[in-house]
Amino acid sequence: MKILGIETSCDETAAAVVEDGIRILSNQIASQVEIHARYGGVVPEVASRQHILAIIPIIKQAMSEAKTSWQDLYGMAVTVGPGLAGSLLVGASVAKAIALARGLPITGVNHLEGHIYANWLVSPDIVPHFPLICLIVSGGHSDLVLMREHGDYVLLGRTRDDAAGEAFDKAARILGLGYPGGPPIDQTTRDGTAAIQLPRAWLKGTNDFSFSGIKTALLRLVEGGKVSSVADAAASFQEAVTDVLVSKTVEVAREHRVRQVLLAGGVASNQLLRQRLVHSSAIPVLIPDPILCTDNAAMIAACGYFRFKAGKMDGLEMDVIPSLRLA
């Protein structure tokens, strides 16, 4: 079963063809990051206009790279939320137009659910085992999710203020490292040591996160002229965020006696977070390749396959839901 995935929830226009939810036949991404970097963040109106320009060529490339014709497709999976309304609308409208023209079924996918399903693309030979805990860390979310079956989610913890990716982006801005902040912080820390003690908000007795205190502490240090090495400051920030994310994930996985721990979302491409989680967890850990952690359409197609298998299809009345939740 070949599924065409379409993803336009934020600033990447992406299309991919995935077979049986596990084999990537193509994975095309047109990034707008350079356009938004000028403004220090994603400008929603600019993002939707760029999606309109990029979406058709990207779908054509994905279909051609996968050597797949419209007749070969079982159906299409498209992100319907959460995300920017205007951006989501471009992907959903194109999917509906193709569905109408080619008589293909569609399933609307939750972007966060898509991030989790990147773990089904780690290798065609590796299948995640339920029940599992997934830590989703992206630009908008830091969620600890218990997944008991396909499509069955319990939200155990979330961020109370900044998401992990948002914290990386704000810390990078404070340190003058540009936007988006995760990749340059990840890179810079390789020349530094976590020499500065930054506060951790443990929020004991809950599975929730809070990262605004770490960011504010960093800002005070920079404003007070107390940071002599950007690499050390970046490493200290990354250490503090990773420490909390890993400790809480390992603890929750132990409490719920799950069989596997999954990592997902853009921040899951962070080298320290990947290493530390694998090191600290007594339960087997699965982490997708970095390219499948940041926004892509292969994860949407993979999720779509399991939705189709469960009979979850949508009609042409399907709408985008910018504030869609996972559970």
List contacts with ligand KG4 (CB under 6 A).
10, 138-140, 165, 168-169, 180-183, 186, 265-267, 269-270, 294-295
Question: Cβ(300)–Cβ(307) under 8 Å?
Answer: no
Is the Cβ of residue 44 or residue 105 nearer to ligand KG4 in the bound state? 44
Whole-angstrom distance between the N-terminal and C-terminal Cα of the chain? 27
Q: Under the criterion CB under 5 A, does residue 295 sit at the interface with Zn ion?
A: yes
Q: Under the criterion CB under 5 A, does residue 314 sit at the interface with Zn ion?
A: no
**Chain-centre distance for alpha carbon 155:** 16
**Chain-centre distance for alpha carbon 272:** 17
Query: How many residues interact with Zn ion (rule CB under 5 A)?
Result: 2
Is the Cβ of residue 139 or residue 184 nearer to Zn ion in the bound state? 139
Q: Which of 86, 13, 89 is nearest to 53 (CA)?
A: 13
> What gap in Å lies between CA 146 and CA 262, rounded to an integer?
10
Task: Tell me which of ligand KG4, Zn ion, none is bound by residue 180, counting a contact when its beta carbon lies within the kind-specific cut-off of 5 to 8 angstroms.
Answer: ligand KG4
> What gap in Å lies between CA 268 and CA 122, rounded to an integer?
13
Number of residues assigned to the chain: 327
> What gap in Å lies between CA 217 and CA 270, rounded to an integer?
22
* Least distance between Zn ion and beta carbon 10 (Å): 7
Q: Under the criterion CB under 5 A, does residue 138 sit at the interface with Zn ion?
A: yes
Is the Cβ of residue 94 or residue 112 nearer to Zn ion in the bound state? 112
Question: Cβ(70)–Cβ(128) under 8 Å?
Answer: no
* Least distance between Zn ion and beta carbon 140 (Å): 7
Q: Residue 153: what residue type?
A: Y
Task: Tell me which of ligand KG4, Zn ion, none is bound by residue 145, counting a contact when its beta carbon lies within the kind-specific cut-off of 5 to 8 angstroms.
Answer: none
* Least distance between Zn ion and beta carbon 304 (Å): 16
* Least distance between ligand KG4 and beta carbon 50 (Å): 15
3-state secondary structure of 137: strand
Is the Cβ of residue 89 or residue 163 nearer to Zn ion in the bound state? 163
Is the Cβ of residue 37 or residue 56 nearer to ligand KG4 in the bound state? 37
Six-digit token string for 274:
């990947």
* Least distance between ligand KG4 and beta carbon 12 (Å): 7
Site for Zn ion, rule CB under 5 A: 138, 295
